[in-house]
Amino acid sequence: MCGIVGYVGNQEAVPILIGGLAKLEYRGYDSAGVAVLQGQKIEVRRSVGKLVNLQKSLEDNALKGTVGIGHTRWATHGKPSEQNAHPHRSKGCVLVHNGIIENYQPLKQQLEKEGYKFQSETDTEVVAHLIDKYLQKGQGLADAVRAATKDVRGSYALAVISEKEPGTMIAARSGCPLVIGRTKDASFVASDVMAMLAHTRDVTYLEEGDVAVVTQHEATLTDVDGHAVVRKPAKITWDASAAEKSGYPHFMLKEIHEQPQTILDTMRGRYSYETGEADLPDIGLTPKEFAAVDRMWIVACGTSWHAGLVGKYLLEEMVRTPVQVDIGSEFRYRDPLVGKNDLFVTISQSGETADTLAAAREAKGKGAKVVSIVNVVGSTLARESDGVLYTHCGPEIGVASTKAFTAQLTALYLLALHLARVRKVMAAADGKAWLDRLVRLPSLVEQILGREAEIVVIAKRYYKKRNFLFLGRGINFPIALEGALKLKEISYIHAEGYAAGEMKHGPIALIDKDMPVVVLAPKDRLYEKTVSNLMEVKARRAPVIALVAEGELELGKTADAVFTIPETHPLLSPILFTIPLQLLAYHIAVLCGADVDQPRNLAKSVTVE
């Protein structure tokens, strides 16, 4: 999730660009850069690390001009480095980009054949050379950008300037937000209104496929074919703090609502319908090495460990390979029996969790291949692994992990498909069927998020309770654990996740009318057993909150509160059952007056043992 800023006006561009980029700081980044039209030439300046490094470089060696673009990078393709920092250029064309170009590799090969030399490892640079190619054919900048965006597949928000058309900026979006601001003497472009609130509150949001021609005095919008489009301007009334969260009261709620997009982004460009296979170029092991794997391990901490537990059910069912799951802080203190033919998977949002890092090093020391599912590109765990599967969900600011968790599950679904196909335990047709179901998840998540008000009603009924139980079976047992963790870590209410079948072996003694029990009851092969577990706790007067499959309203009548989950394959149900639990924890915590984004005693990344 990168930050984009553009300016065309009568003031010096650099202070406006830097001020805008600073407002996007909450999005996190690993490098930053600006490009300014200085006379007839566009000068580019980029720095790795914090924005202050770029500011220092510009103080030491100023750039002067009233047209410019700026960028803060959250790496997806290519490690954090100056070469990979934006803006990227091709001759006199310079651009910044947010998004993922799924087909950048074939485009890059074609452009190299046509003589283009690549300076970076990014997918973005492909777009700069594509635009230049069309400019060289005599097209104007707007037409060249339109043509280039037709060649690419994936998501983009672009701000483009060219030495051939000084004073003009082209902004284009598909799949990533982009907004234009106007004043009497200037135009602004940004990925987020935050970057321009200091200058204007009169904005126009670009919509899918829009291409804007931006000059000092106007911004005209067209579609990708050049036909004029009209977009209703908006007046931003948010204060700065609310704008950072796109109008949401907390980063956590914003990130919960980002999940349809982040699940999609984690899938983008990583599968082929034609072959029914996953396409994981950075996975680090050859199909032959995957085929030789005797056993798998998954090691992680906290919410990421819950993802690992889901991975066990998923991988053992789809790949038929034994999977051992461990908590990072336990794994390496028991001299684990890791073998040379073992595949060792670690899962970590930050890629810096000390316990998980130590486990990966232990496994490598014992000869295993390490593949990591990580969100932060270039993090320690990513760099030390033999292969990496990034979750493209952008920086997760809320301490309670939400979008990273469902992105981790998405990455596991892709890994399971990859392993099942290379180990020939899944035929192409089944792979395609699996992908069909997988690509429907973002819209099903969107559907659930649209019913948030139902969760608010449940939260209002039970937020004063001091103890909760979350029950699940099979692949949703880890989701019961996750639901409990979400609630306890942001509301400070005691909550336990339990295997529903385990209740009768002790915990049922806890049940009374003051202990709400959340029961996850997907319509899978364990449904009847889950229903009897629900009846057991109901019989002991516990208030039951049942998450049931659509159509199972019978069960809903028995429960005290019910929330229906859209139908999907049982193995994919964990992502759908997670969403209402995230919302329930969030709304209960808000009703309790807790500090949702920064709960007491917790850190976003636990870099100490």
What mask, x for binding ligand AGP by CB under 6 A, covers residues 481 to 520?
Answer: --------x-------------------------------
**Residue 294 neighbours by CB distance under 10 Å:** 11
Q: How far is the CB of 586 from ligand AGP (least distance, A)?
A: 12
Rg (CA), the chain: 25
Q: How far is the CB of 276 from ligand AGP (least distance, A)?
A: 30
**φ, ψ (nearest 5 deg) of residue 423:** -90, 10
Q: What is the largest distance, in Å, between two alpha-carbon atoms of the chain?
A: 80
- Using rule CB under 6 A, residue 372 touches ligand AGP: no
Among 204, 259, 349, 406, binds ligand AGP (CB under 6 A): 349
Only one of the segments 13-21, 344-352, 536-544, 560-568 lies at the binding site for ligand AGP (rule: CB under 6 A); that segment is 344-352
CA distance 223 to 209: 6
309, amino acid identity: L
- Pick the closest to residue 213 from 154, 156, 144 (CA basis): 144
The answer to whether 376 and 352 are in contact (CB under 8 A) is yes
- Using rule CB under 6 A, residue 449 touches ligand AGP: no
CA distance 362 to 309: 20
Restricted to residues 395-414, the positions that interact with ligand AGP (CB under 6 A) are: 399-401
By beta carbon distance, the residue nearest ligand AGP is: 302
Among 302, 474, 478, 580, binds ligand AGP (CB under 6 A): 302
Which residues are annotated as catalytic?
2, 604
Restricted to residues 122-141, the positions that interact with ligand AGP (CB under 6 A) are: none
- Using rule CB under 6 A, residue 303 touches ligand AGP: yes
Q: How far is the CB of 453 from ligand AGP (least distance, A)?
A: 24
Burial class of 163 by CB neighbour count within 10 A (0 to 12, 13 to 18, 19+):
middle
CA distance 13 to 22: 14
- Using rule CB under 6 A, residue 350 touches ligand AGP: yes
- Using rule CB under 6 A, residue 191 touches ligand AGP: no
Report the run of H or E that residue 278 belongs to, with start and end.
Answer: strand 277-278
**φ, ψ (nearest 5 deg) of residue 405:** -65, -50
CA distance 129 to 357: 39
DSSP characters for 136-178? HTT--HHHHHHHHHHH--B-EEEEEEETTSTT-EEEEEEBS--
CA distance 290 to 369: 10
Residue among 152 and 360 whose Cβ is closer to ligand AGP? 360
**φ, ψ (nearest 5 deg) of residue 338:** -85, 130
- Using rule CB under 6 A, residue 149 touches ligand AGP: no
# binding residues, ligand AGP (CB under 6 A): 15
Only one of the segments 224-232, 317-325, 350-358, 454-462 lies at the binding site for ligand AGP (rule: CB under 6 A); that segment is 350-358
- Using rule CB under 6 A, residue 348 touches ligand AGP: yes
Q: At what angle do helices 124-136 and 104-113 cross, to 10 degrees?
A: 40
Among 149, 356, 385, 410, binds ligand AGP (CB under 6 A): 356
Only one of the segments 57-65, 160-168, 264-272, 348-356 lies at the binding site for ligand AGP (rule: CB under 6 A); that segment is 348-356
Residue among 243 and 393 whose Cβ is closer to ligand AGP? 393
Among 162, 168, 174, 353, binds ligand AGP (CB under 6 A): 353
- Using rule CB under 6 A, residue 380 touches ligand AGP: no
Only one of the segments 179-187, 345-353, 457-465, 565-573 lies at the binding site for ligand AGP (rule: CB under 6 A); that segment is 345-353
- Using rule CB under 6 A, residue 391 touches ligand AGP: no
- Using rule CB under 6 A, residue 301 touches ligand AGP: yes
CA distance 206 to 176: 10
Residues lying near ligand AGP in the complex (CB under 6 A) are found at: 301-304, 348-350, 353, 356, 399-401, 489, 605-606
